């Protein structure tokens, strides 16, 4: 399965359908999810994340090129031991983005919601990457670019491979 480009509702629906279909075909076979994405809509990404966690198949994630924002979130959500980056990839972590307009009370509600989303994402990064919540929160506070090796040290990926043979 490939996520190439922005993560939106259309891509999310397609990826979720592919994950469920491949699980239906063979519930024990590993699924590979290749990511080259600048990120996208948080709710669309959460749909993919939840489906990855829901299915019985192991899901290997592979960063090719760029995994930013929700792209990096999905990269770290792969099955432990099966999260991979190619050596020249770039990984970007940051807090969720939002822009709102309208009545002051509505803007306040949106700000509270994005704050809850930020905290929830920090909890999940901490869980999957083996980092403290506080460290994740500090890291997500501003754009944080990583090389493949830095992402490996941080716990976003488990391996950096330059050939498929090394991955086997």
Q: What is the pLDDT of residues 52-86, one digit of tens each?
A: 999 999 999 999 999 999 999 999 999 999 999 99
Catalytic residue among 69, 72, 85, 128: 69
Of the candidate ranges 84-88, 96-100, 108-112, 150-154, the one whose mean pLDDT is the lowest: 96-100
Which pLDDT score, from 0 to 100, does residue 113 have? 81
Do 145 and 78 touch, CB atoms closer than 8 A?
Answer: no
Q: Can you give the residue range of the structural domain that contains 9? A: 2-167
Do 60 and 28 touch, CB atoms closer than 8 A?
Answer: no
CATH number at residue 48: 3.90.226.10
> Cα separation of 71 and 7, whole Å?
8
Residue with tokens 């939840």: 50
Count up the domains in the chain and report the number: 1
Which pLDDT score, from 0 to 100, does residue 102 have? 75
* Residue 94 is among the residues annotated as catalytic for this protein: yes
* Residue 69 is among the residues annotated as catalytic for this protein: yes
> Cα separation of 49 and 127, whole Å?
14
Which pLDDT score, from 0 to 100, does residue 98 have? 67
Cα atoms in the Cβ-side hemisphere of radius 13 Å centred on 136:
21
């Amino acid at each position: 399965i490939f996520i190439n480009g922005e993560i939106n509702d259309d891509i999310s629906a397609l990826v979720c359908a592919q994950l469920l279909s491949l699980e239906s075909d063979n519930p024990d076979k590993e699924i590979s999810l290749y990511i080259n994405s600048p990120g996208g809509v948080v709710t669309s990404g959460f749909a993919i994340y939840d489906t990855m966690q829901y299915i019985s198949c192991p899901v290997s994630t592979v960063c090719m090129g760029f995994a930013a924002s929700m792209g990096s979130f999905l990269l770290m959500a792969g099955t432990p031991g099966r999260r991979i980056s190619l050596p020249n990839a770039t990984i970007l972590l940051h807090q969720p983005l939002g822009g709102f307009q309208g009545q002051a009370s509505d803007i306040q509600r949106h700000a509270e919601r994005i704050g809850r989303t930020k905290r929830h994402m920090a909890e999940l990064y901490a869980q999957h990457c083996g980092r403290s919540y506080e460290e994740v929160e500090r890291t997500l506070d501003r754009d944080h670019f990583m090389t493949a090796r830095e992402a490996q040290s941080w716990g976003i990926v488990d391996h950096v491979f330059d050939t498929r043979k090394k991955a086997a």
